[in-house]
Amino acid sequence: KDGAKVVIGDLLDKEGNEAVKTLGADKAFYVRCDVTKKAEVDALFDAAIKKFGHVDCCIANAGIVNDGNFLDLKEADFDRVLAVNVKGVFLTGQAAARAMIAGKRKGVIINIASTNAVVVQHGQVTYPVSKGAVNLLTKVMAISLADNGIRVVAIGPGPTRTEMLDNVMKNH
């Protein structure tokens, strides 16, 4: 509505393409991207620059959850949640900042944290740990990128009605 051009990066092809239809193909496009893989994140930003010329804003919103008590949590599950929720924010922020700096643009990077970064609930280990890390990573990024005119902020929403929350609620 305000003239923004949007690039959607996700693993959910159907949903990504449906979002593009809603926004309009002249204003948005979808790129399949696994945020845990640097090459894919870099390709996402390369595609954005090729299509629209520059990057002014980035929202790092990828996130997953894994239910389980502390003593029962498997290492692979811990690693996967941290990879998506923390490494994904790191790789996305790096790529966005590099694109902004290369394009001589001041911009903003918005990381989606959670109230679970400071308040935990029974049966959740990896999600609150990952969101606490996102809060600290945001502070590090903000200090590191300030001299380049890039603002970095985190938003910490509470429970939001999504498919991920519905799955968590079914398991409790």
Closest CA to 57 of 99, 118, 117: 99
Closest CA to 114 of 96, 133, 87: 133
Map residue 10 onto helix, strand or coil.
Answer: strand
Question: Within 13 Å of residue 35, how many CA atoms lie on the same side as its CB?
Answer: 27
Q: Which of 29, 45, 90, 127 is catalytic?
A: 127
DSSP 86-114: IIHHHHHHHHHHHHHHHTT--EEEEEE--
Active site residue 30: no
CA gap 34, 161 in Å, rounded:
23
Closest CA to 132 of 118, 152, 111, 112: 118
How far the first Cα of the chain sits from its last, in Å, is 40
CA gap 121, 129 in Å, rounded:
11
Question: Which residues are catalytically annotated?
Answer: 127
